[in-house]
């Protein structure tokens, strides 16, 4: 009798093990499918590098893990009141409209007549923020930063697109190593941060001049009024050492060789708006 009972127990245990194994396989398969679905970007996302970026952004790989940045200089989104604001009031009315968010798409004129303060708000409405100097430079690296002979395919630094500014993405060659367009020229781009009486984050910034060195935060550490430094593509640094000054990078359509991936403009107040300054966001 004991043998019969033991046999039944063994059969029961065997069946239970089989059931457990089958369930494990099924659950693993489901897990793999779920993982595949998670890794595959949907129509609103674009998988790049080591992370996923929303549509209209590119991934920039860094030692700290990387970030996403808008592929193009942003324009007002389709739900904004003004597609091409002509003054600060129109930018403010755009921002006051709940459904208005910046968009990163080729073929649109950059959103200008927007202050550094307003640009930060616009990025926040899209769930993003203004890039730091360090992030902006990382995203700009590899953009062809030539000195002369600009064509319609190059960055728009000498009114060489025929339009000033031109629609984002017009210059096929004006593309960084990570795939961000127009980091040089077309319009200056606001970045995060302000300098107070020539000092940023306890660092005294150098005088205006050609850049001869940068620090770990992508800020000029040395400048010279001479002919410039080939290591920094003869890019220029502008600064006013009195008052609170916002920061914009890259140059605009009429800076010629002074524009570039290292070029930095610390002259305008954070409330300044103008025809030659736009922005893009990071996430």
Mean pLDDT computed over 129-142: 98
Tell me the per-residue pLDDT of 191-240, one tens digit each, with 9 for 90 and over. 999 999 999 999 999 999 999 999 999 999 999 998 899 999 999 999 99
Q: Does residue 17 have a pLDDT over 80? A: no
Q: What is the pLDDT of residue 51?
A: 54
Which one has a higher pLDDT value, 199 or 28?
A: 199
Strand partners, 247: 191
CATH number of 48-279: 3.90.1580
CA separation for the pair 96, 82 (Å, rounded): 12
Q: Does residue 43 have a pLDDT over 80? A: no
- The long-range contacts involving 79-86, CB below 8 angstroms and separated by at least 24 positions, are 84/109, 85/111, 85/112, 85/113, 85/114, 86/113
How confident is residue 41, by pLDDT bands cut at 50, 70 and 90? very low
3-class secondary-structure state, position 120: helix
Average pLDDT, the chain: 87
> Among the residues of 57-115, which ranges form H helices?
88-96
Q: Does residue 117 have a pLDDT over 60? A: yes
What does DSSP assign to residue 257? G
Among 246, 268, 242, 231, which Cα is nearest to 222's?
231
Domain boundaries, the chain: 1-37, 48-279
CA separation for the pair 129, 117 (Å, rounded): 11
pTM: 0.82
CA separation for the pair 147, 209 (Å, rounded): 17
């Amino acid at each position: 009798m004991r043998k019969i009972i033991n046999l039944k127990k063994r059969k029961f245990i065997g069946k239970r093990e089989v059931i457990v194994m089958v369930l494990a396989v099924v659950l693993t398969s489901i897990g793999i499918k779920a993982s595949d679905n998670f890794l595959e970007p949907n129509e609103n996302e674009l998988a790049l590098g080591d992370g996923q970026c929303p549509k209209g952004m590119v991934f920039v790989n860094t030692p700290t893990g990387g970030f996403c940045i808008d592929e193009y200089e942003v324009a007002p989104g389709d739900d904004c009141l003004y597609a091409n604001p002509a003054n600060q009031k129109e930018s403010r009315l755009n921002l006051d409209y709940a459904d208005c968010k910046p968009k990163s798409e080729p073929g649109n004129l950059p959103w200008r007549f927007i202050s550094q303060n307003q640009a930060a708000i616009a990025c926040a409405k899209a769930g993003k923020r203004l890039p730091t100097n360090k992030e902006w430079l990382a995203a700009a690296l590899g953009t062809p930063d030539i000195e002369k002979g600009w064509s319609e395919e190059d960055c728009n630094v000498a009114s060489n697109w025929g339009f000033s500014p031109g629609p984002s993405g017009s210059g096929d060659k004006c593309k960084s190593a990570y795939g961000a367009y127009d980091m040089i020229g077309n319009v200056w781009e606001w970045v995060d941060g302000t300098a107070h009486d020539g000092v940023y984050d306890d660092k005294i910034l150098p005088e205006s001049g050609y850049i001869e060195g940068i620090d770990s935060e992508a800020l000029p550490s040395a400048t010279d009024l001479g002919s410039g430094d080939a290591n920094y593509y003869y890019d220029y640094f502008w600064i006013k050492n009195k008052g609170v000054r916002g920061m914009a990078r890259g140059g605009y359509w009429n800076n010629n060789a002074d524009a570039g991936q290292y070029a930095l403009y610390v002259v305008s107040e954070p409330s300044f708006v103008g025809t030659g300054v736009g922005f893009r966001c990071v996430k």
